[in-house]
């Protein structure tokens, strides 16, 4: 009988946390585990065809950079009943599945507002199976909070977690670029490599376009507005294609389209995005985890414009690492709309025809994640025998 894994994730703004958790779930299934993924964010797409079991909790989300106010699917602040229901569903899953491994995504390094849920899940899993392995799963870059919150997170890691899966490459972007890593935490870190979607991307759709993308949220609206203005200045005759995520309001897309020149196509994100990207002339995007992996896989000239509103630093740290490695140019919006549009148009012109270097980052996170979990389980079994 295969070992069972229960993964809990809640994405609040974009869809990156859920996409990465789903990639991890697929990797563990391929590694021989039986996996259930419980998602507490807004539904992203149908999950019936996935190789893992999927459970949708009553969803919550945030708006803009206000991560303290949790909203329901209708944009209203959640009530205590929704919190209670979510905790009860997680506890029931843990009691029924009795997982060998519990993986919580981003906690305790973030998601403090959901601490009660994750702590209840861990407690229920340990009650059902005392020897259960408890892991945290984090991306390559974290947002550094106040010192007291760093101490709280590290106390929880020390007392509750067997290890931390860091889905990144220590040589390219070590965790201590964004989070202070002391001796105790360092001993629990397990770098997996970047966790990419290993499903076939399809044949490159050679289009010669400037592809502008912004992840799943509405946070890319300033970038899209700048791209429309830059396209108007571009004299190359190339088509610009803007791909908006589900979190972008129809009204905002309508305003963009009304202001766009004829050579600009504005549409929702497409399932063939990797193939489009692989055939583009230049990519302009934000610097989210999954977007960066798509850029590296595509191997086309890229400009990354990190989202940095509300003191967000994650994408800036990653974008600067990409620029140091020669993978992309890091472009910052200054707030001067006209100046930014001129500078972005110039950057696109400079990027035309440039070739990024060979892949300098470890993208084998799928296979290595499964191998690390197996090693950790074997270590627990060995200690139990002795």
Tokens of residue 328, six digits: 């992309």
**Contact assessment for residue 341 and residue 229, using Cβ atoms and an 8 Å cutoff:** yes
Gyration radius from the chain CA atoms: 21
pTM: 0.89
Beta bridge partners of 44: none
pLDDT band at 384 (very low <50, low <70, confident <90, very high): low
The per-residue pLDDT for 356 is 66
Sequential DSSP letters for 312-357:
--HHHHHHHHHHHTTS-EE----S-HHHHHHHHHHHHHHHTT--PP
* Least confident interval from 90-99, 128-137, 214-223, 266-275: 214-223
Q: What is the pLDDT of residues 33-69, one digit of tens each?
A: 999 999 999 998 888 889 999 999 999 998 876 778 8
The C-alpha angle with vertex 226 and arms to 225 and 232, in degrees rounded to 5, equals: 95
Q: What is the pLDDT of residue 260?
A: 92
Tokens found for residue 153: 């997170």
Confidence (pLDDT) at 359: 66
SS3 75: coil
pLDDT of residue 15: 83
For tokens 């084998």, the residue is: 364
Helix axes 250-259, 221-233, angle to 10 degrees: 10
Residue 284's SS3 state is strand
Of 126 and 245, more confident: 126
From CA 278, how far away is CA 268, in angstroms rounded?
18
Q: What is the mean pLDDT of the chain?
A: 91
> How many CA atoms, within 13 angstroms, populate the side-chain half-sphere of residue 16?
24
Residues in the chain: 386
Query: Averaged over 240-264, what is the pLDDT?
Result: 90
């Amino acid at each position: 009988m295969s070992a069972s894994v229960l993964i809990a994730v809640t994405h609040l703004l974009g869809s990156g946390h859920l996409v990465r958790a789903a990639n991890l779930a697929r990797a563990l299934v391929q590694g021989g585990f039986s996996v259930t993924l419980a998602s507490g964010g807004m539904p992203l797409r149908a999950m019936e065809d996935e190789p893992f079991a999927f459970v949708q909790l009553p969803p919550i989300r945030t708006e803009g950079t206000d991560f303290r106010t949790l909203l329901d699917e209708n944009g209203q602040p959640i009530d205590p009943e929704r919190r209670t229901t979510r905790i009860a569903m997680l506890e029931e899953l843990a009691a029924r599945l009795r997982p060998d491994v519990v993986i919580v995504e981003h906690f305790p390094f973030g998601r403090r507002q959901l601490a009660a849920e994750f702590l209840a899940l861990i407690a229920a899993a340990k009650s059902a199976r005392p020897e259960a392995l408890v892991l945290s799963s984090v991306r390559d870059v974290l947002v550094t909070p106040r010192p007291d919150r760093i101490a709280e997170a590290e106390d929880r890691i020390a007392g509750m977690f067997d290890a931390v899966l860091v889905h990144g490459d220590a040589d390219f972007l070590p965790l201590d670029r964004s989070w202070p890593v002391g001796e105790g935490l360092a001993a629990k870190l397990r770098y997996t490599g970047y966790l990419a979607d290993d499903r076939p991307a399809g044949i490159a759709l050679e289009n010669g376009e400037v592809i502008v993308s912004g992840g799943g949220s509405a946070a890319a609206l300033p970038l899209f507005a700048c791209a429309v203005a830059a396209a108007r200045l571009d004299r190359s005759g190339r088509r610009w294609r803007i791909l908006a995520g589900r979190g972008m309001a129809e009204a905002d897309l309508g305003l963009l389209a009304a202001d766009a020149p004829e050579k600009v196509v504005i549409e929702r994100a497409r399932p063939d995005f990797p193939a489009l990207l692989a055939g583009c002339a230049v990519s302009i995007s934000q610097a989210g985890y999954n977007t960066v992996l798509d850029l590296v896989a595509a191997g086309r000239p890229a400009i990354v414009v990190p989202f940095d509103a509300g003191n967000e630093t994650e994408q800036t740290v990653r974008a600067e690492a990409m620029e140091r490695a020669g993978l992309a140019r890091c472009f910052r919006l200054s707030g001067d709309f006209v100046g930014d549009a001129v500078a972005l148009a110039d950057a696109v012109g400079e990027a035309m025809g440039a070739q990024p270097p060979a892949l300098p980052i470890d993208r084998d996170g799928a296979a290595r994640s499964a191998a690390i979990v197996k090693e950790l389980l074997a270590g627990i079994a060995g200690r139990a025998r002795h």
